[in-house]
């Protein structure tokens, strides 16, 4: 085929291309239908168009159809056989192949699905990624981080106390985990924030206009917003195994971050000590008050007992009552003995015998003395106006009973006082045990390099999240369109 014939063929081929839309020119099925229409009238153009169909869809059927058309075209137009060997050299073949590849790539990019996907990707992924990268690299203010390590310790009471008292006071029961959580809660509290504000004016530093808009605190931020911003710049972590408290403080200046970290450590130490002392004071105050009441009760019982003894001129009414009973028992024994002697005398003598009369006289005396002694135990004494009304005309047994009541009251008061004394000592030990100490494992560090923002990490994370969200949205949209 001459170059003129080849140019004519390519001209007709381009006219056919111009009569089709982009979608039609990229649709193999549509072009195959045109091949069947042109096959009867223009075998050369049909053969050329079938080559494009094969390029778009290189299936076995299309390849077989192309081979059939090639054979038919070569039979009807023999000049076509000289196209590759005579009229096209190697360089032309390479350029034609490159042009075909370029055309296929451009057509692929202009595919409606690609066009539909390309614009949202640029708007929702590429453009935000470039903006975020520019912000991270050129705008974001550097932040310095100071860190400190603390641990809560308590006295070793087992080493300084009596073992029994140490066990009673509860030494050895760990409360460090609770103490570390209390320290963490206090550092995160509004009280700590207000202390830092009053001491260091941290709001002025964090809201400085020198810092970028997205990193700094608003000038008119509310207290809740201020606290939220503070929590984003202070991090407290507790090691579950060692119970070491890690404190991380961020600021826009290295010296200021170190100062804030140092102030937080000092305030946390004061807080722990204050809690321990306040608990100890309140507990000791209550126990001391109870101990004073028990001591007052004991003194009152002792005073009443001594006053009762003085009023009745008795050293020990119980002992005197026992002595009276022993005298009575002794007299009863002598009476029994004298009766036995009298009976023995009567068996050998008359009643008028001097010895019988003497024995009878002695027996009567003993009986009279016995009645008097028994009366002392049961008969009321003469009234004494100096005594209280309820203690007048009391017998010995009644005095002993009254004395026993006072004595029992004193013993009960003494037991209460003893228990109170033990409780007081235990409370003192407990107060000593509750004293905690915040030990600094690592002093607040002085940063030299800005740790934040982590540019590469932030950019990578932003891109990954953006791509993931974009892909999820595209899948949802495609699913909805498919269901329609």
Residue 438: in which H helix or E strand, if any? Answer: strand 437-442
Cα–Cα distance, 261 to 145 (Å, whole number): 9
Cα–Cα distance, 257 to 265 (Å, whole number): 12
* Confidence at residue 376, expressed as pLDDT on a 0 to 100 scale: 61
User: How much is the pTM?
Assistant: 0.52
Cα–Cα distance, 162 to 179 (Å, whole number): 26
Cα–Cα distance, 363 to 369 (Å, whole number): 10
CB of 277 closer than 8 Å to CB of 435: yes
Question: In this structure, what token pair is assigned to residue 355?
Answer: 């010895």
Cα–Cα distance, 366 to 340 (Å, whole number): 13
Per-residue pLDDT 10s for the chain (484 aa) are 566 677 777 888 888 888 888 888 888 888 888 888 887 777 888 888 888 888 888 888 888 888 888 877 777 776 665 544 333 344 444 444 445 544 454 444 444 554 555 688 889 999 999 999 999 999 999 999 999 999 988 765 444 444 544 444 444 444 567 889 999 999 999 999 999 999 999 999 999 999 999 899 998 899 999 999 999 999 999 998 889 999 999 999 999 999 999 999 999 999 988 877 767 677 777 777 887 888 888 888 888 877 777 776 665 665 665 666 677 778 778 878 878 887 887 777 777 878 878 878 887 887 777 777 666 655 545 445 566 666 666 666 676 777 778 788 888 888 888 888 887 777 776 665 656 778 899 999 999 999 999 999 999 999 999 999 999 998 998 888 877 6
Q: How many other CB atoms sit within 10 Å of the CB of residue 115?
A: 11
Cα–Cα distance, 174 to 183 (Å, whole number): 16
Question: What is each CA distance from 181 to 72, 151, 172, 240, in whole angstroms?
Answer: 90, 11, 19, 11
Torsion 13-17-18-19 (CA) sign: positive
Q: Does domain 143-280+438-451 have CATH number 3.30.1890.10?
A: yes
Q: Which residues contact 432 (CB under 8 A, 6 or more apart)?
A: 155, 157, 280
Domain ranges of the chain: 3-104, 111-140+453-484, 143-280+438-451, 296-431
Of the candidates 459, 461, 467, the residue with the CA atom closest to the CA atom of residue 137: 459
- In the numeric block, the tokens 């028990």 are attached to 294
Q: What DSSP character marks residue 57?
A: -
Cα–Cα distance, 177 to 241 (Å, whole number): 10
Q: How far apart are the first and last CA of the chain?
A: 52
Cα–Cα distance, 136 to 461 (Å, whole number): 12
């Amino acid at each position: 085929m001459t170059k003129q014939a080849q140019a004519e063929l390519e001209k007709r081929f381009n006219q056919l291309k111009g009569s089709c839309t982009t979608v039609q020119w990229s649709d193999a099925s549509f072009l195959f239908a045109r091949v069947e229409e042109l096959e009867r009238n223009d075998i050369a153009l049909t053969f050329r168009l079938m080559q494009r169909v094969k390029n778009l869809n290189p299936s076995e059927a299309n390849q077989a159809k192309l081979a059939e058309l090639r054979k038919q075209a070569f039979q009807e137009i023999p000049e076509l056989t000289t196209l590759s060997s005579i009229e096209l050299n190697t360089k032309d073949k390479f350029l034609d192949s490159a042009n075909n590849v370029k055309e296929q790539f451009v057509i692929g990019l202009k595919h409606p699905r690609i066009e539909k996907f390309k614009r949202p990707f640029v708007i929702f992924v590429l453009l935000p990624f470039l903006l975020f990268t520019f912000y991270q690299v050129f705008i974001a203010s550097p932040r310095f981080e100071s860190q400190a390590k603390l641990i809560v310790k308590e006295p070793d009471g087992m080493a300084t106390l009596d073992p029994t008292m140490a066990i009673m006071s509860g030494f050895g029961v760990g409360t460090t985990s609770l103490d570390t959580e209390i320290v963490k809660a206090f550092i995160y509290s509004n009280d700590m924030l207000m202390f830092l504000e009053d001491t260091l004016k941290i709001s002025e530093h964090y809201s400085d206009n020198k810092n970028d808009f997205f990193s700094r605190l608003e000038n008119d931020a509310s207290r809740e917003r201020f606290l939220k911003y503070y929590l984003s710049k202070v991090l407290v972590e507790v090691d579950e195994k060692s119970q070491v408290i890690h404190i991380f403080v961020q600021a826009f200046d290295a010296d200021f971050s170190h100062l804030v970290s140092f102030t937080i450590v000092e305030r946390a130490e004061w807080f722990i000590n204050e809690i321990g002392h306040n608990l100890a004071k309140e507990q000791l105050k209550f126990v001391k008050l109870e101990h004073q009441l028990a001591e007052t009760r004991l003194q009152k019982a002792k005073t009443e007992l001594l006053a009762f003894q003085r009023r009745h001129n008795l050293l020990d009414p119980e002992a005197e009552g026992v002595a009276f009973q022993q005298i009575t028992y002794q007299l009863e024994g002598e009476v029994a003995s004298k009766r036995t002697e009298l009976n023995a005398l009567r068996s050998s003598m008359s009643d008028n015998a001097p010895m019988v009369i003497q024995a009878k006289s002695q027996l009567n005396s003993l009986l009279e003395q016995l009645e008097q002694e028994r009366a002392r135990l049961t008969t009321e004494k003469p009234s004494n106006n100096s005594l209280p009304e309820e203690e007048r005309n009391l017998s010995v047994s009644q005095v002993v009973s009254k004395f026993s009541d006072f004595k029992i009251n004193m013993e009960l008061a003494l037991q209460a006082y003893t228990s109170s004394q033990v409780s007081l000592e235990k409370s003192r030990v407990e107060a000593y045990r509750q004293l905690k100490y915040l030990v600094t494992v690592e002093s607040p560090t002085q940063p030299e390099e800005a740790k934040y923002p982590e540019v590469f990490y932030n950019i990578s994370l932003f891109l990954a999240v953006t791509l993931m969200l974009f892909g999820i949205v595209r899948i949802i949209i495609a699913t909805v369109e498919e269901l329609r």
